[in-house]
């Protein structure tokens, strides 16, 4: 048996890349070990073109956001499913000064294109503390990651192109430009294993900077806000009466365990924003595969042309993966250049292997 690509890891990155290559007519075998923790199983899946206190445009936002909206909606239409939810993000101002600063920022047409012309602050005020008003970010929304991953898995299972189990470098026999795995001749193996890539001996030289994050799930009765609220943390309505609240950021204690400190931090933050009672019903923790220069790791291994990587997307995998997967596919299939800021060749001076 021969396949074009073995994709190792089925979080958002592996799912998106596998789908992209499949749609290009490639034979793709998607492998995932359900016993391993996954950041995609925890992440809220929010896409947001303007981030941080200063409403900074996400890297390559003008390319990423039209592409991702089209990408996810196309899969929904093709498979007759629903997992992507375009929604505005309401940003209540913290002070008059912040209001003034934000209004000055959105005078710039490049930022203005991502901000709603008008915002109904009165609609939010029974639920959200917004004495200074706010603005709404457009072209945003959220991907139901667990549903998306489940659907992509089902698609490849039906094609008999899914392997449930781990794949490590030791399982591979690399022979020049090809690899043999379980008697299958593989043209290229692409690792999409998130934060686990730090333990991959072929890619442990890449400068990851993993970040632990925690989120809460809470019941909020009679909460009629359908948009996402963001002021130092997000309140994401996933269905009527149920929200997700997050997130924390920690570069220490990098484990997958939820903590009391994390819950206390998030509750203090949400108490300052949410006017109505809520009850926490769940708490989760995950490790984001962030990088030191905040750019993804995409490309082919410096000395092993049959092995590649597609990862390091940190907190923005849902936004980044569709556009970059298309670019990686064009690189792999058509020989087009990769985005230099994402190409692992930028880190090749750190590689001292053979």
Give residue 195's pLDDT. Answer: 86
Q: Where in the chain is the domain with CATH 3.50.50.60?
A: 2-42+146-206+294-350
pLDDT digit string (tens) for 269-314?
999 999 999 999 999 999 999 999 999 999 999 999 999 999 999 9
Task: Indicate the burial class of 212 (C-beta count within 10 angstroms; 0-12, 13-18, 19 or more).
Answer: buried
Q: Is the pLDDT of residue 204 over 60?
A: yes
For a pLDDT cut of 90, what percent of the chain falls above it? 89
Looking at the domain covering 2-42+146-206+294-350, what would its CATH class be? alpha beta
> Is the Cβ–Cβ distance between 126 and 275 less than 8 Å?
yes
Q: Give me the architecture of the 211-288 domain, per CATH.
A: 2-Layer Sandwich (3.30)
pLDDT tens-digit profile of 225-260? 999 999 999 999 999 999 999 999 999 888 889 999
Nearest 5°: the CA angle 76, 339, 251 is: 80
Q: Which residues contact 51 (CB under 8 A, 6 or more apart)?
A: 58
Location of each CATH 3.30.9.10 domain in the chain: 211-288
**pLDDT (0 to 100) of residue 252:** 87
Q: What is the mean pLDDT of residues 160-179?
A: 95
Span 99-108, pLDDT tens digits? 999 999 999 9
Q: Say how far apart CA 294 and CA 279 lie, in whole Å.
A: 35
Q: What number is the average pLDDT over the span 13-42?
A: 92
| Mean of pLDDT values over 194-217 | 93
354 pLDDT higher than 60: no
Check residue 38 and give its pLDDT: 80
User: Across-strand partners of 307?
Assistant: 189
């Amino acid at each position: 048996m021969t396949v074009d690509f073995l994709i190792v890891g089925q979080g958002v990155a592996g799912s998106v890349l596998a789908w992209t290559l499949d749609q290009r007519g490639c034979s793709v075998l998607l492998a995932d070990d359900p016993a391993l923790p996954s950041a995609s199983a925890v992440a809220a899946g929010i896409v947001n073109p303007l981030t941080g206190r200063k409403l900074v445009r996400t890297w390559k936002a003008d390319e990423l956001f039209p592409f991702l909206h089209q990408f996810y909606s196309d899969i929904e239409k093709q498979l007759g499913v629903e997992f992507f939810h375009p929604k505005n993000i309401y940003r209540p101002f913290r002070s008059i000064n912040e209001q003034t600063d934000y209004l000055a920022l959105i005078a710039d047409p490049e930022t203005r294109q991502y901000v709603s012309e008008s915002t109904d602050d009165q609609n939010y005020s029974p639920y959200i503390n917004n004495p200074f008003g706010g603005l709404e970010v457009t072209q945003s929304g959220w991907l139901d990651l667990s549903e998306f991953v489940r659907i992509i898995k089902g698609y490849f299972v039906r094609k008999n192109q899914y392997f449930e189990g781990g794949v490590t470098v030791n399982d591979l026999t690399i022979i020049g430009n090809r690899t043999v795995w379980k008697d299958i001749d593989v043209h290229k193996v692409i690792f999409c294993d998130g934060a686990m890539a730090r333990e991959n001996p072929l890619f442990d030289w890449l400068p990851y900077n993993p970040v632990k994050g925690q989120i809460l799930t809470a019941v909020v009765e009679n909460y009629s806000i359908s948009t996402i609220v963001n002021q130092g943390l997000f309140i994401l309505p996933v269905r009527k009466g149920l929200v997700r609240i997050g997130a924390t950021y920690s570069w220490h204690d990098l484990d997958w365990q939820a903590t009391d400190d994390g819950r206390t931090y998030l509750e203090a933050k949400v108490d300052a924003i949410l006017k109505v009672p809520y009850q926490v019903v769940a708490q989760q923790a995950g490790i984001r595969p962030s990088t030191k220069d905040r750019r993804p790791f995409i490309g082919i291994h410096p000395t092993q042309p049959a092995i590649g990587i597609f990862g390091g997307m940190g907190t923005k995998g849902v936004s980044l993966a569709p556009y970059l997967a298309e670019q990686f596919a064009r690189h792999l299939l058509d020989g087009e250049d990769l985005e230099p800021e994402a190409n692992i060749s930028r880190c090749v001076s750190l590689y001292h292997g053979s």
